[in-house]
Chain A
Amino acid sequence: MSNKFLKNRNSCDCMLEDDLKQNKDFKNLKDDYSISTSKDEGEIIIDPDVEKISLDFYQKKFTDGLPIIPPTKKRVQKFYQYSLGDPQELLAILPPLRGKASREKIAINAVMAGCLPMFMPILEKTIIALSSEKFNLAAINATTHPVAVATIINGPVIKKLNFNYKAGCLGPGNLANATIGRAIRLCLINIAGAVPGIEDHATLGSPAKFTYCFAENEDESPWEPLHVERGNSPSSSSVTVLGVEAPLNVNDHRSQEATKLLDTIIYTASTPGCNNSHVPGELLVIMSPEHAHTIAHEGWEKKDVKKYIHENAQVPVNLADRGGRKLDKKWFKKDMVPLTRKLNDVIVIVAGGPGRHSMVAPGFGTSSQSVTLALDSF
């Protein structure tokens, strides 16, 4: 039992946090926390109450179905050290429950999700962003549509907190991506009241509702990152929230020209079953660095990419008029309906590692607008 987790166990009920204090810097710890296949190294002693509390919380519908870390007072208080204000301060009222989102409640849900205390300022800003009127959280939480909340991180905070913006950034394996996305979902369940089948009426739900947080690959992007495009300085950090579906893959290994590659993207995006087909709105395009460079190599700027997608991602009228809301003729372009209303509805992010796959995620139609807020504390 030489595991360093065990050595720290008696000093605190949050071993990982003790380690963080002693080892100065989270980023440099990442290899230490990789559990090898060795039996000894993989063995972890847990508080005997953890399972009981986790099950109790599950039965009370406080969880996403996965085990949680019990939010003891001691654990929650550690998050206050990184919070930007008083724990009882109200940051937002979240619908449909009209729950009071205080810093304390956010911290409790963050502990449950497995977040580190230093993630707290990001969570606070994300919750404020979600409460923006134009985001329309009331509908996003209650809808039968499988819209999820995607959280995109930009700026120096990406490396400071070791977000994954490279290979597998939308998948498992990274603490910041996984737990921040999960904490947001737990806040929606416990503060906003979006309990599946009770206040979250999604007909089928979505795996994207477990966690959906990633960072932009600014290092390998040929274009300005999202937060700069939205008026922030490159040296600042930001969080952006979007109401979007789970992403759909765009496999294009062969296109060597910008328009051909973008055609693969627009034909993948132009599906009649998405909300945008009858109520045009935002469309998230997560472009891999290789795809982005193929396009940029021909001199295309980001605005050119957005313009091409905006003008060409469309659905035939006869297939578009099948959604919940009546298709308004004002959207018609002859016998087609565009997925987006304007150029800036096309949100282009560069993310991911090597390979020729991008992704698209339709939004919640006209009913929700993404929100970007600066993370001043990073």
Chain B
Amino acid sequence: MNPLAESKVNILGINEIAPPIHKISFFNNTKPNAEIIIQTIYAHLNGIEFILSEKPAGAPASQQELKTADKGDIVILALGDCGSCVTWLILDAIRLEKKGTATISICSDKFSSFARKLAQRYGFKDLRIIEISHPLAGLKKEEVEHKTLSIIPKIKNILNIS
């Protein structure tokens, strides 16, 4: 007999990003160098208001943390660069999508495949996930900034801004 279980999947759609974007919410899970990634992105998106808030890595955001993050037109979550933090980055992004808020999740390329599979299993196969080169932890600030610069065009493209 087959030991594998079937998955329970309810297919759901992500929220549209409706320009113009007035306010972006950054949701920092406090992983090493997540803050530098956020600051670097922030520095390259001119004329947009920002909200900064934190959530735990490897565990779900509290209702209050979700509520705070949910005050932007879109939420950018960082950083998924390990198994448990990717899990709760993606699951919290999905919680926000279910509330009607569009999200972008930043995950390292070593864990982005897992992030996509996880999102798919929870019904969000099209969840916006941007890959950043692994590793991020243990690097100097300049190295993290350099890696972050490479993903900024993708973020601008999703946000439909120049």
Contacts and interface: CB of A to CB of B under 8 A. Distances in A.
Contacts of B57: 324-325
A367 B8 contact: no
Nearest to B55: A325
A236 interface: no
A367 B58 contact: yes
Interface in B61-102: 82-88, 91
B7 A100 contact: yes
Contacts of A71: 1, 3
B121 A98 contact: yes
B3 A99 contact: no
A47 B14 CA distance: 52
Given A71-B1, A199-B114, A367-B56, A144 B8 contact: no
Contacts of A118: none
**Interface size class of chain A, counting residues whose CB lies under 8 Å from the partner chain:** 35 or more
Contact of B3 (A62, A97, A279): A62
A367 B111 CA distance: 20
Main secondary structure of the interface of A (DSSP, over half): mixed
Contacts of A93: 8
A88 B2 CA distance: 14
Given A142-B84, A201-B111, A202-B83, A96 B1 contact: no
Contact of A98 (B59, B82, B122): B122
A76 B1 contact: yes
Interface residues of B, number: 33
B114 A201 contact: yes
Contacts of B111: 201
A324 B58 contact: yes
A136 interface: yes
Contacts of A144: 82-84
Contacts of B8: 93, 98-100
Interface in A322-339: 324-326
A98 B7 contact: yes
Given A143-B58, A367-B58, A190 B83 contact: no
A244 interface: no
A112 B7 contact: no
Interface string B121-156: 110000000000000010000000000000000000
B87 A366 contact: no
A330 to B, nearest CB: 12
B21 interface: no
A73 interface: yes
A145 interface: yes
B6 A100 contact: yes
A109 B2 CA distance: 9
A97 B82 contact: no
A241 interface: no
Contacts of B91: 138
A366 B7 contact: no
A96 B137 CA distance: 24
A93 B118 CA distance: 14
Interface of A: 57, 62, 71-73, 76, 93-102, 104-105, 108-109, 112, 136, 138-145, 186, 190-191, 193, 199-202, 279, 324-326, 364-367
Q: Considering the complex of A and B, which 4 residue pairs feature the smallest CB-CB distances, nearest first?
A: A201-B83, A99-B5, A143-B84, A326-B30
